[in-house]
Homo-oligomer: A and B are copies of this chain.
Amino acid sequence: MPRPTFFNLPQAKQQKVIESIISEFSQYPLSQGSVARIVKKADIARGSFYQYFDDLEDAYYYVLGLVGEKKMTYLRPILHASPDLPVMDLFKRLFRAGVQFGAEHPQLAKMGALFLQEEKRVRQEVVAEEEEGAIRFYHDLLMKGKQTGEIASDLDLHMAAFVLFHSQMALMERALKQMEWEEGSDVLQEFMTEFDHMLELILYGIIRRES
């Protein structure tokens, strides 16, 4: 957690610092992050950084939390507003909200993605926890689908959640990379459709009789 010093800073300055950190970690994983670059970008003194945070890691996890919160502002409405939507529509909306988030805050999304493939060795636990959390969340949604009868009763829920999670992650990463290249162009619709396809494919499988 940042030191009190940080929170006493005027909002504008706090924001500038946070943005520098996000910028850094949307390009480099934690282990490659550089205090030098961050303070330069934030235009603060080298020492100030250490008045605000214990160290690089402290700053990283603090900002990562903010990213998570931001992402939740996209997802929460969906979860809360539609309690008895078919589960599969829920997934569709969630994925689409993810795309929206990535398009509107590409740096935050990139930081999140970078985090999830963080050196599987450093801070393994934290990452693993986060991953498990996400998969469990998917799992719970699917469970609901089983209860409502939308989903075959003999489905391996864990595996389904696993596949959904990792496929969505991989597709999101690809999308972020493409957005970076074709910056500005409006590929939002395109990506949403792609996520729809992916969901459909996983729902109905590769081998399909009628659909």
Q: Which residues of A are at the interface with B, using a C-beta cutoff of 8 A?
A: 27-29, 31-32, 88, 114, 117, 119-121, 142, 150-152, 154-156, 159-160, 162-164, 166-167, 169-171, 173, 177, 194, 197-198, 201-209, 211
Contact = CB atoms under 8 A, between A and B. Distances in A.
Q: How many copies does the complex hold?
A: 4
A152 B31 contact: no
Contacts of A155: 201, 206, 208
A121 B176 CA distance: 13
A206 B32 contact: no
A170 B161 CA distance: 12
Given A162-B167, A163-B167, A194-B159, A121 B205 contact: no
Contact of A29 (B27, B119, B156): B119
A119 B32 contact: yes
B163 A198 contact: yes
Contact of A197 (B119, B156, B203): B156
Contact of A120 (B150, B156, B173): B173
A211 B208 CA distance: 10
Given A151-B206, A206-B203, A207-B151, A171 B162 contact: yes
